Amino acid sequence: MEKATTNKKAADVSPELKGSSIFLLGMKSSLKTNLGKLLADVLRYYYFDSDSLVEEALGGASVANSLKENLPLDTVARDVTENQSQVPSLDISTSGSSPEVMDELVTVYNKYKDGYATADAVISLQKVATRLGYENLDDITIEDMALEVLGEIEKLTRVKKMMAEAARPF
């Protein structure tokens, strides 16, 4: 059912894209990779994963290994649970984490947040979970995220179309 809904939404959005590129930015993750592949499939786009280029630019060091060493997932989960005002309905269990790792996570976040702020659309896993009524982030499917992305793309193309119409002379 979700795949059919995703395909229909993609069919609605696709003509308005007119070949525009779509970039998914964020830390390397299988969710982002699988989301990119699904979007490419339903929109009939070419998928290119640039994480390997980033790894090469860093001298061949694996970004994933570097992040695992410095930013364990339990730290990310703890940060989410400590900020319950953003995600009140989520039930996230964490193992212990050290204050030093939390400081490093905050440093990395602060370093990159301005870059993400310039994105045309920001998709939040936590917001999708809350909107769909999921208590666990693991319940979110790739199709859920794809529908969220396609919805944001639809909004952007609608705004672009309205701006173009407003710029036309009378």
pLDDT of residue 95: 44
What are the tens digits of pLDDT across the range 125-152? 889 999 999 998 889 999 999 999 999 9
pTM over 0.85: no
CATH for 2-167, options being 3.40.50.620, 3.40.50.300, 3.40.1130.10, 3.30.1490.190: 3.40.50.300
pLDDT of residue 69: 55
User: What's the CA gap between 60 and 16, in Å, rounded?
Assistant: 38
